Amino acid sequence: MAKTGVLVIGSNGHNLAEKCIDWGEDAYIGDYTFVIVNTVSLNKNILKKITEQSSDYFKNLRDQIVEVQTKRGLRLICITDKVIALDDSVTSDIKNLFREGKNKINNYSWCPVIPIFEETPGEKINRKNIKLKSKYVNLIKGWERLYLFQVDNTDIKFEKDDGRYFKAHPQYLITNEIDRAVAFELYWKVHKYYDYNIEIDSNGPILFLPKVDEVKRGIDLLLEDYCKEEEVAPRWVGDIHLPGEVEKLQLMKDIEEKIKTLEDHRDKIKLEFEGINEYKKLLYAKGEELEDIVEKSFKLFDIELKKFEAGYKEDRIFAEEDAKIPFEIRGKNAGLNETDLNQLTSRFADKPVSKKYKTRGVFVLNHFRQLKPEERKEAFHHNIIEKAKSWGVCLITTGTLFELVKTKLETEVLNRLKERLLNTIGTFSTSDINHPTR
């Protein structure tokens, strides 16, 4: 007899499931309490065919899963395969594919969380520390990929959103012999940065299992293990207590409270860590990502940079009293050339000369950004420096700015840096960092 409330997607012929559907077929997820998804069967051809026929298919499936998980804790199991995407031009940078392009169609578009794997096949599983109680484990002969990280795909938006934070901490269920995850389970949450009372919780787990040789047989074993009918206890059983039961219940509550306190502290530390770690972008980023971290870095030194109004070309501008100093921010795989410098100096015509600051413009350059800082050639050739001096331009590398940030974070002392920087004509260096009162 079919088990009520179990749906299998991407695999047919399972007698213990209430319903089995192929990819592209519709089923209302709210009718089920347990879903098994065979991602292995969702190959690139099927993915392309489905999106051509119904561009919203995966989005609608994902939205239903999110709704049922958050309202009544839907359990979800995924037989995993490597991540594939229809846009081949961006798959070389897998992190950016999902961090910057949630609208990209891939074989995990149906899932609230997209797992990213390292394609590293292996055989030796740590069978002494398996936390997955299922016959499915007996079919696992090894693995094709290891867990790296996961990406938010919930698409949850808050009304009057002032920042959102996604977290999903996986529990490793099967590992290899150096404790890399072969199978893992996670719960996810989305909450607002500035209002921890507004939080959306999955309430139910998502379990990611490695592909096995006999996928259909594996799903049947999962149905046997997870979907057995159980006798529902009558209400009066709750009034009967065994020795130690009440004490154990209270102990569990106390431990859960401690865990919550530790999780809150960990999340706070994580945000602080990410805020500090972000400064490393000074050494490799380009474009808007570089502009944002340069702005954040200068803010440490009381140098407030702002974006210009529409119609202006400056990356950022410093405006204070009579000073309006443009900042050109650039990430390149080369040094500064005359054309780059001209883009900054050509904007001086409509900028008044400040009485307080001698510098008329600042060029911030992340040069040879694909190389380690110690391997980079010089950023500013002599002729470029001389031309910059003739125009009253300050030249600074993001490597120099990175060293300033390190000093600020370590000592919290860098007096008069704003005055020194904005009165520099030519190359700004860190030679007087150790003498902050100069």
199 has which bridge partners? 191
CA pair distance 420, 423, nearest whole angstrom: 5
324 has which bridge partners? 319
10 Å CB burial of residue 234 (0-12, 13-18, 19+) is exposed
Instruction: Identify how many contiguous H helices and E strands the chain contains and give both numbers.
Output: 10, 18
Give me the tens of pLDDT residue by residue for the chain, a chain 438 residues long: 444 689 999 999 998 899 999 999 999 999 999 999 999 999 999 999 998 888 889 999 999 999 999 998 899 999 999 888 876 544 444 545 544 455 578 899 999 999 989 999 999 999 888 998 889 999 999 999 999 988 889 988 887 766 778 888 899 999 999 999 999 999 999 987 766 667 888 998 999 999 999 999 999 999 988 776 566 678 888 888 899 988 998 999 999 899 989 988 988 998 899 999 999 999 999 998 999 999 999 999 989 998 875 545 568 999 988 888 999 999 999 999 999 999 899 888 767 788 889 999 999 999 999 999 999 999 999 999 999 999 999 999 999 999 999 988 887 666 678 888 999 999 998 775 544 443
CA pair distance 60, 407, nearest whole angstrom: 50
**DSSP-derived 3-state class of residue 160:** coil
- Looking at residue 161, what is its pLDDT? 66
- Looking at residue 413, what is its pLDDT? 65
CA pair distance 238, 221, nearest whole angstrom: 32
Is pTM beyond 0.85? Reply is no
CA pair distance 329, 308, nearest whole angstrom: 13
Determine the Cα angle at 204 with ends 200 and 206, to 5°. 105
Q: How far is CA 218 from CA 23, 144, 200, 276, 405, in A?
A: 19, 16, 32, 45, 53
Q: How far is CA 213 from CA 86, 334, 362, in A?
A: 26, 50, 61
Amino acid (one-letter) located at 304 = E
**Nearest by Cα to 282 from 299, 300, 294:** 294
Q: Which residue has the tokens 């407030």?
A: 304
**DSSP-derived 3-state class of residue 405:** helix
Structural domains for the chain = 3-229 (no CATH), 280-427 (3.40.91.70)
Amino acid (one-letter) located at 44 = K
- Looking at residue 55, what is its pLDDT? 84
- Looking at residue 67, what is its pLDDT? 94
